[in-house]
Amino acid sequence: MNDLSVFRINQAGYASGLPVCIAFLGEGTVRLIDCSDTILMELNPSAAPVDQASGDRVSVLNFGVLPEGCYTLENNGITRKLSVLKKPWQPVVDMLVKGLYFQRCGCDLKKEFAGIYAHPACHKAPAAEWENRKSVRLVTGGWHDAGDYGKYVGPGAVTVGHLLYAWKLFPDSFSDSLNIPESGNGIPDILNEARYELDWMLKMQRSDGAFYHKLTKDHFAPFIMPQDDTDPEYLIPVSHCATAAAAACLALASRVYADFDADFSGRALSAALRGWTWLEANPDFIPFRNPEGVRTGWYGERTDSDDRFWAACELFAATGEINFRKAAEELYQGGQSLTQFGWADVGGMGGLCCLFDLREKADSILYSRLKSEFLSRTEEALRLSAASGYGTSLSPDHYVWGSILPIMANAISMILNYLITGRVDMRDAALLQWHYAFGMNALNLSFVTGIGEISVMHPHHRPSGADGIDAPVPGLIVGGPNKCFPYPVHRERLGENLPPAKYYLDELPSADTNEIAIYWNSPTVFVGAFFNMISHS
């Protein structure tokens, strides 16, 4: 392993149209050698300072744009190979989308699509309302949210939001040939896959327009296959955040699917409008709490302002009705975090809608002012990347549960900045976040299952733990290092002195560092789709 320790690279490869950057932990001359043993470049980096997040003496080396080929890095006799290809990340983006297929609930995962990971349909039974057990509905479908088998509306909505915007902005990165059941139907598979979640989301709407917060059992299942998890599931009470996020997502879907399926587009818009009507009739935010006796994921939030903001933007984009613009303006002026793209804060999703789909239609507040604020806030992401020895856009004290999310969110912010301004420094810093996910990090590890020479092997993911197959289900990204909220038992094992970027265990029980989640795959799809599209074809 020593030969790998001084060079940290993107194990998924590099693109011939973009600068090749690696992280270097050694001392002395670094040589870049081509496949005919010719030394192409010699770098003599100055001694690197200690990187606060990792404790490593490390710096980013930039070899510039290189032609397609195989290369060797060499330092004091230690070598590591890297490859530069025209389109290295198309298969990676495909695998990340296909990873969501493996999360499908309520249908057979057939061998022809799922290979060795095939299993029979799970969670097929109708579900009762938690508060009214006599009310029973068939609510099958959707994706298992994460390592568990629950299905949650808010996290599902933001996941679909990432996918739909990835397709809208970077359509050339998506094909209709991912080998999922709908492949070949003339609709890009990213939209086919998102539709599987959207159809389920529509079932999660109550007759008055509100959306149930989640569909789960009252406790997490043990590590068994999903088809063996047969305890009853419940419709857990409606919430403001779930309703607003679903309304936003469905309004967006109504636009995206209009050219593919007018009937579905209409149903999505109608559901979104009914969700908004419920929100207007229920203006006072009530935070979601697990009812007594329910111990599955909480996904609680302190406000629904960001979800309402996203919904108002999307409904304005879908209908052109001025009252939605006014609502969005008010919510924006109340304060939104425009660089947040996760389930807990979707302010960035509303901003994305304003900047790329509404543009001038959004008028001065939601376009000119919002754009100026957004661009100014993205400077922080760039600053964090520049301050890190690995180029990682995260401050040392923010290695939270699911640290991959703020890192990918910062990549999205910098990509959007680049799309607006053309600033190459933003693009290149975003690219370092993509490299982080695949091994240019303090752990020398690709956080995506099945991708890279050294990748996660024991994710906190029930099917991967229960299927008897050594290799985990492929195409799933884990949350990564977490020093802010580790399990006490892991804090005890890892110790207070271990740097945050190394606070990680590739072990199945470590939900705190090694769980997968649909809403971590989806921002990674967004980032990968952008870089795939701009890499040389």
Positions marked active-site: 148, 460, 506, 515
Question: Of 501 and 516, which CB lies nearer to Zn ion in the complex structure?
Answer: 516
- As measured in angstroms, the least distance from the Cβ of 126 to Zn ion is 14
Query: What is the gyration radius of the CA atoms in the chain, in angstroms?
Result: 23
- For residue 128, list its beta bridge partners: 136, 234
Rounded CA separation 479/147 (Å): 11
DSSP state of 354: I
Residue 139 lies near Zn ion (rule: CB under 5 A): no
Residue 226 in the binding site for Zn ion (CB under 5 A):
yes
Q: Which is nearer to Zn ion, 226 or 297 (CB)?
A: 226
The bridge status of strand 212-216 relative to strand 127-129 is: unpaired
CB of 94 to Zn ion, least distance (A): 23
CA–CA dist 204, 143 (Å, integer): 13
φ, ψ (nearest 5 deg) of residue 460: -75, 90
Please give the helix or strand (H or E) that residue 51 lies within, else none.
none
Binding mask 50-89 for Zn ion (x = CB under 5 A): ----------------------------------------
Return the residue matching tokens 């939900």: 511
Tell me the residue number closest to Zn ion, measured at CB: 105
CA pair distance 100, 511, nearest whole angstrom = 19
Q: Which of residues 112-131 bind Zn ion (CB under 5 A)?
A: 122-123
Identity of the residue, 105 or 251, whose beta carbon is nearer to Zn ion in the bound complex: 105
Minimum CB distance to Zn ion, residue 337 (Å): 33
Strand partners, 238: 212
Which of these ranges, 105-113, 185-193, 411-419, 456-464, lies near Zn ion under the rule CB under 5 A?
Answer: 105-113
- Residue 320's contacts (CB-CB under 8 Å, 6 or more residues apart) are 361
Identify which of residues 146 and 338 has a Cβ nearer to Zn ion in the complex. Answer: 146
Q: Which helix (H) or strand (E) holds 107?
A: none
For residue 135, the surrounding DSSP H or E stretch is strand 132-137
Q: Pairing between strand 30-34 and 39-43?
A: antiparallel
Nearer to Zn ion, 30 or 105 (CB): 105
Q: At closest approach, how far in Å is the CB of 521 from Zn ion? A: 17
Q: Which is nearer to Zn ion, 41 or 128 (CB)?
A: 128
Q: Tell me how far, at minimum, the Cβ of 139 lies from Zn ion, in Å.
A: 11
Taking the complex as a whole, the smallest distance from the CB of residue 104 to Zn ion amounts, in Å, to 8
Strand duo 78-85 + 14-15: pairing: parallel
Nearer to Zn ion, 105 or 533 (CB): 105
| Of residues 205, 6, 172, the one with CA closest to residue 90 | 172
Nearest distance from C-beta of residue 451 to Zn ion, angstroms: 25
Burial 137-160 (b: 16+ CB within 10 A, else e): eebbbbbbbbbbbbbbbbbbbbbb
Q: At closest approach, how far in Å is the CB of 145 from Zn ion?
A: 10
Please, which residues bridge with residue 30 across strands?
Answer: 43
Nearer to Zn ion, 370 or 516 (CB): 516
Q: Does 105 bind Zn ion (CB under 5 A)?
A: yes
Helix, strand, coil percent values for the chain (each to nearest 5): 45, 15, 40
How many amino acids of this chain bind Zn ion (CB under 5 A)? 4
Amino acid at 494: L
Closer to Zn ion by CB, 148 or 304: give it: 148
Copy the structure tokens of residue 270.
């109608």
* Smallest separation (angstroms) from Zn ion to the CB of 148: 10
Query: 10 Å Cβ neighbour count for 499?
Result: 18
Closest CA to 233 of 212, 221, 218, 222: 218
Q: How far, in Å, are 111, 148, 301, 457 from residue 465 at the CA level?
A: 19, 11, 30, 10
Residue 462, interface with Zn ion (CB under 5 A)? Answer: no
Q: Which stretch binds Zn ion (CB under 5 A): 100-108, 124-132, 361-369, 400-408?
A: 100-108
437 sits near Zn ion (criterion: CB under 5 A): no
From the list 79-87, 218-226, 407-415, 447-455, the region that binds Zn ion by CB under 5 A is 218-226
Residue identified by tokens 């403001």 is 240
Sites of contact with Zn ion (CB under 5 A): 105, 122-123, 226
